[in-house]
Homo-oligomer: A and B are copies of this chain.
């Protein structure tokens, strides 16, 4: 392949990652539709349920969102009483966000369905391959460049 030609799109990593994600999300979206929150809002709630209260910067990092997106998402979640937000006690620049009981309830109600979907996906794809894929993705994500 000359350096002037591009590889086939089928072997382009960004597109391959997108396509795989699309297949996975197609399975998950019906469940999300039931929750009443978007995929991203769901991710934020999950992160907060998993790790407790934290500031927007950490939430963004853990939920794979950029801060401007997160600002809007937190606004929605707060207006719907799924999270609370208060100033950091000692650092006036920072905020502390916590999930509410209502938010936790939303997670708990939908966790079984989410796990069911995941189990089917793993069964269909193969546990071994799934773990191998997750390992490779994790390694790629943490690649030092």
Contact = CB atoms under 8 A, between A and B. Distances in A.
Interface string A1-41: 00111111111011111111111110110000000000100
B20 A141 contact: yes
B145 A121 contact: yes
Contacts of A27: 145
9 contacts: A3-B112, A6-B114, A13-B134, A14-B25, A16-B138, A20-B140, A22-B64, A23-B143, A129-B139
Interface of A: 3-11, 13-25, 27-28, 39, 43, 46-47, 49-50, 62-64, 107-108, 111-112, 114-116, 118, 120-121, 124-125, 129-130, 132-134, 136-145
